[in-house]
Amino acid sequence: MLRDRSAPVDLFALVPALHLRFEPELAELDRLLEDDALFQHIKADLGRRRPHTIETGRPSTPVEVILRLLVVQHLYDWSYAQTEHFVGDSLVLRQFCRLGLEPVPHHTTLMRWSNVVQPETMHRLLDRVTELARSLKVTRGRKLRIDSTVVATAIHYPTDSTLLFDGVRVLSRLVQRATLALTGRQRRVGVQRMRAAKQLVRRIEATAAAHATARDRAERPTLYRRLLGLAQASLDQAQRVRQTLATRAEATMQPVHSALGHMAELVQQVIAQTQRRIVDGESVPASAKLVSLFEPHTAIVRRGKAHLPAEFGRKIMLDEVEGGLVTRYAVLDGNPPDAPQLPLSLEHHQVCFGQVPTLLTADRAFFTLDNERLAHDLRIRSVALPRQGPLTPKQKEVRYAVAFRRAYRWRAGIEGRISVLKRRFGLARCRYHTEEGMERWVGWGLLAHNLRQISRSVATYGAM
């Protein structure tokens, strides 16, 4: 029988009859977040937002709500706006975040609060979650595997031409702001220069195309010189405006003056490295290159991958123990070797668990004679750090022993862990800005991952 419509039902009136409850993992996660130490770490940071935040002012969003909203955001890899929307739409998540009938905080409010949390706090939160895992016997710290990965920053693919255009565009925009502050009138300063720079960038990109002719490629240095001239003209104009701002005592001038100074320094570096590479024909080392005006902390990381010759972001060191928990992370400067991080990992492991692991493994990038000697001095029972280069017969005997091979096979699991962190917890690309934002982004992702691992283990097997 064909029906036109269902009988109208008011689901909101029937909510008590739905028997809503947390799924087992979410129920365990709810209990984990009731830990007072986690709460106090977050409260201490939020209390420093203003001089008298704790005592005065209008009532804020509760600290508990902020903590749970941020965990939910990274648990499901949502944006701030998605977190506001989905939590507001779900009775279960409303209960989990302790919102009750209160409106969900606006996503910009959540963003401002999250930026107050300090990078050091994220490391303390991760250590506290490790303590909770030990108390629930999810892990005992008997095994340790170490590896590194790269978390990309939110930048476009860097080329000299696009960086120069970014400099012209941003400096022109800041000069327009300064002109408005100085004269009270909006003027479109630098618009013609921006248009000319954009056209030059397109022509430069065309010379690098596969179908470009020899004549087009020969024109490339000339185009770059013209673009460099436009960038230098924007920089000179910005310097003159900045000097004018310095003579004014109004407080409104200071932010624009500081922004012009910061950006002018970065644009000067871009001009210098382009001049060296394109005009002078020099080879600029990766450590000396600036690849973004907006995320200047971004490093060029080459790890010998054929499908990914260069990555643009920050190198991250990860320590993982049995139970699938990442107990330590470090955001490294540039592209340093991996081996110096192994002693730091062992030191942190001893602090967290009160003992060294019985099994230590990592890939060959972590092997040095000093690291091998350190593991021997600490009396680590099973060490699987493959040597680089040719092996002596005795070294081959150790390398192909059953214990070594079994330990090294366990090491491969951290590759899968990194894949999960990138696909599921946002470590493929950092959405926060600045170096501190990178620390926070990685920290929240690892915190959400560890909380999920603990809650899943306890929900499946119970506290052991």
**What average pLDDT does the segment 185-214 reach?**
89
Position 360 scores a pLDDT of: 96
Q: What is the pLDDT of residue 15?
A: 67
Distance CA 262, CA 59 (A): 36
Q: Tell me the CA end-to-end span of the chain in Å, nearest whole number.
A: 55
Q: What is the pTM of this model?
A: 0.91
How much is the pLDDT for 463? 53
pLDDT by residue (tens digit) across 219-233? 889 999 999 999 999
3-state SS, one letter per residue, for 360-404: EEECHHHCCHHHHHHHHHCCCCEEECCCCCCCCHHHHHHHCCHHH
For residues 235-244, give the mean pLDDT.
93
Condensed to tens digits (0 to 9), the pLDDT of residues 27-70 reads 999 999 999 999 999 999 998 887 787 878 788 889 999 999 99
Cα–Cα distance for residue pair 133/32, rounded to 1 Å: 10
Rg (CA), the chain: 27
User: Which domains does the chain carry?
Assistant: 20-114 (no CATH), 119-128+138-155+309-461 (3.30.420.10), 160-288 (no CATH)
Report whether pLDDT(6) > 70.
Answer: no
Q: How confident is the model at residue 250 (pLDDT cuts 50, 70, 90)?
A: confident
21 pLDDT more than 70: yes
CA gap 425, 429 in Å, rounded: 10
**In the structure, what pLDDT confidence band is assigned to residue 182 with cuts at 50, 70 and 90?**
confident
Whether the per-residue pLDDT at 171 is higher than 80: the answer is: yes
Question: pLDDT, tens digit, for every residue of 359-400?
Answer: 999 999 999 999 999 999 999 999 999 998 888 888 888 889
Residue 121 or 211, more confident: 121
User: Which one-letter amino acid corresponds to residue 129?
Assistant: V
Q: Which of 272, 264, 268, 269 is nearest to 241 (CA)?
A: 264
Residue 210, SS3 per DSSP: coil
Q: Are 259 and 174 in contact (CB under 8 A)?
A: yes
Instruction: Encode pLDDT of 321-366 as tens digits.
Output: 999 999 999 999 999 999 999 999 999 999 999 999 999 999 999 9
Q: Which pLDDT belongs to residue 19? A: 66
Predicted pLDDT of residue 74: 95
Tokens describing residue 238: 């910005």
Residue 249 has phi, psi (to 5 degrees) of -95, -5
What are the distances in angstroms from CA 391 to CA 293, 387, 395, 399?
Answer: 47, 8, 6, 9
How confident is the model over 393-412, as a mean pLDDT?
91
Contact 83, 69 (CB under 8 A): yes
SS3 of 141-157: the string is CCEEEEEEEEEECCCCC
Distance CA 330, CA 345 (A): 10
Q: Kindly report, residue by residue over 94-149, the tens digit of the pLDDT.
A: 989 998 888 999 999 999 999 999 999 999 999 999 999 999 999 999 999 999 99
Q: Is residue 203 a contact partner of residue 197, using CB atoms and an 8 Å limit? A: no
* Alpha carbon distance 177, 197 (integer Å): 20
